[in-house]
Amino acid sequence: MRSSIESDPETLMDKVAKFALPSIAGLVAGKLFQAFWSSLVRKRNGGVDTEEGDQESATAGLLFAVLSAAVTTLASTLIERGSQTLIDRRHK
C-alpha cells in the first residue's frame, strides 16, 4: 500500500483541483444559463414579472431542464479535461 501511495505522482492539491474546478465550473455555468433563461422568459412576457408569467408549460420546463443539463455537463467536462492537461503538463 505504501508503494502505491509513493508511486502516485499527484499531490493533494492536484486531486482537489481535479475535483473542485469542474464542480465550480458546472455550478457557474448552470447559474449563468438560469439567468439567461429567466431573461428570455421575461422578454417573452413583455418584461413583466408576474405569478402567471413564472408558470411555464411542461414543454418549456422540459426544454430548460435538458438545455441546462447539457450546458452544465459541457462546461464541467471541458474544465475537467483542461485541469487534467495542466496537471499532466506539470508532472512532465
Per residue in 35-84, pLDDT (tens digit) is 999 888 888 877 666 555 556 678 888 999 999 999 999 999 999 999 99
Evaluate whether residue 46 is within a structural domain. Answer: no
Q: How many helical (H) and strand (E) elements, i.e. helices and strands, does the chain have?
A: 4, 0
Evaluate whether residue 90 is within a structural domain. Answer: yes
Evaluate whether residue 77 is within a structural domain. Answer: yes
Question: Is 27 within 8 Å of 68 (Cβ atoms)?
Answer: no
Evaluate whether residue 4 is within a structural domain. Answer: no
The predicted model scores a pTM of 0.74
For residues 30 and 73, what is the distance between their CA atoms, to the nearest angstrom?
9
Evaluate whether residue 44 is within a structural domain. Answer: no
Question: What residue numbers bound the domain in which 28 lies?
Answer: 14-39+59-92
Evaluate whether residue 2 is within a structural domain. Answer: no
| Structural domains in the chain (count) | 1
Evaluate whether residue 47 is within a structural domain. Answer: no
